[in-house]
Amino acid sequence: MPARTVFIAGAGTEIGKTYVTAALTRCLRAGGRTVRTLKPLASGVPPLHDPGFAESDTARLLDAQDLVLDAEAVEGCSPWRFSAPLSPDQAAVLEGRSLDLDDLIGWCRSQIAGTPGTLLIEGVGGLMSPVTAAATGLDWLKALSVPALLVTGSYLGAISHALTACETLRRYDVPLLAVVVSESVGAPAPVGTVAASIARHAGAPVFCLKRGEACPERLAALIDS
């Protein structure tokens, strides 16, 4: 039976998407659920032998799954890794590599078909960030035909960014399970205030995740329902 799959999309870049994905993974596992978490595309990833690898998104997601940081686990989580902290299309050019959307989609579909339980697929950057020379994260998400969990921050401007992403998902008939507001360091308003504003317009449940807090159980239950 194909996995229950959720795509973790971002309203922007560097807003806590991996933080939320890792917290959600831990919460699902703590509740006895079978979960696998992937970040097929990852930029800013040093080589495995580099001390900085432990701070990469891939390493954080593997740690949340209690997996050993070895070459097999890294390849199984993030088969397309780039060292430059840029959008994948730009990072690929710098490394003289290419990335084909069909290959990415095909790999993801094979993981959906072969994974039991719940599968979390974290996207890269914001919803409209380029993933190849011709395709964006939205194209990737649409092709997979799976529901989305949207992550945003609480920084000044986050409300507009989040609601624009919600509207974009609706425009393209992508089911939106929920929005998670990840607390931004130094934000001028409390994360709960930002979440309440988003909730008035999002048309989906909205959750808060403060730094250092565990993922809300209600969110995990929604994802696994």
The set of catalytic residues is: 39
117 is in an annotated binding site: no
172 is in an annotated binding site: no
Question: In degrees rounded to 5, what are phi and psi of residue 36?
Answer: -125, 135
Asked if residue 15 belongs to a known ligand binding site, the reply is yes
**Residue ranges with strand state E in 29-175:** 35-38, 41-43, 80-82, 118-122, 148-153
Burial class (CB in 10 A: 0-12, 13-18, 19+), 82: buried
Residues facing residue 181 across a β-bridge: 152, 208
What token pair was written down for 180?
């998670």
131 known member of a binding site: no
174 is in an annotated binding site: no
Residue 217 annotated as binding?
A: yes
183 belongs to an annotated ligand binding site: yes
Q: Is 19 annotated as a binding residue?
A: yes
Give dist(CA 110, CA 124) in Å, integer. Answer: 19
Which residues are documented as binding site for substrate? 43
Q: Please enumerate, by residue number, every residue annotated as part of a binding site for Mg(2+).
A: 18, 57, 122
Residues belonging to the binding site are 14-19, 43, 57, 122-125, 182-183, 217
Q: Where is the binding site for ATP, in residues? A: 14-19, 57, 122-125, 182-183, 217
